Homo-oligomer: A and B are copies of this chain.
Amino acid sequence: MTVHYPNGKQTNYQQVTNAPQSASKPNLSLYGKRGMSLEEEINDSNAYYLAKEIAVIHKKPTPIQLVKVDYPKRSAAVIKEAYFRRASTTDYNGVYRGYYLDFDAKETRNKTSFPLKNFHEHQINHLKACIKQGGICFAFLKFTTMDLIYLLPATKLFTYWDQQGDDGRKSIPLQNIEQDGFQIKYQLNPIIPYMSAVDKMIAELEK
């Protein structure tokens, strides 16, 4: 089902299993995949990486504050009242080539810059903590009206985030993202082949 979140983002609540989505849709073309949200594109790519034993990356479930739960006899527990909570981490993490990966995914309808208000302080703090432990951390930034996706290393994101107060700039210009990040071009499988950019980040770390 499609749920409209308080932040206006749509999320698809399909059961995410270990089985690759593509296994049940062998004829799904790139054209057929168009119209996906960034989250769906990432989940689809992660299902491919998992099936091919390339990486194990999962989206974390949205945290829920439970208030009332019924336990009917002989059937499943029913949540009758609950609220969405703010996560204390980013949405995605996992393991690839022995490295811990951690990232978040954000979208904008803007065309020339990416608003920093898409990020929250606790997400930045979480990414900083993971970097300190040797994790490979980044963010996907998607310009939805132009179908442009960039992978921006977290250390670059921190620079823009921490400068916010100084010059008053509340967004990252697209040309800076082009310089500091990696453009991820759509293909069929995985639809977002982002591990090639991750390979470059790992090579940089191992220098």
Contacts and interface: CB of A to CB of B under 8 A. Distances in A.
B53 A13 contact: no
15 contacts: A3-B69, A13-B66, A17-B122, A18-B122, A18-B125, A18-B129, A58-B88, A61-B63, A61-B87, A62-B64, A77-B84, A79-B82, A79-B84, A95-B130, A95-B133
* Complex copy number for this chain: 2
Interface stretch (A22-30, A31-39, A97-105, A167-175): A97-105
Contacts of A80: 80-81
B79 A64 contact: yes
Interface residues of A, number: 56
A77 B81 CA distance: 10
Contact of A50 (B16, B85, B129, B134): B129
Interface of A: 1, 3-6, 13, 15-18, 50, 53, 55-56, 58, 60-67, 69, 71, 76-85, 87-89, 93-100, 102, 122, 125-126, 129-130, 132-135
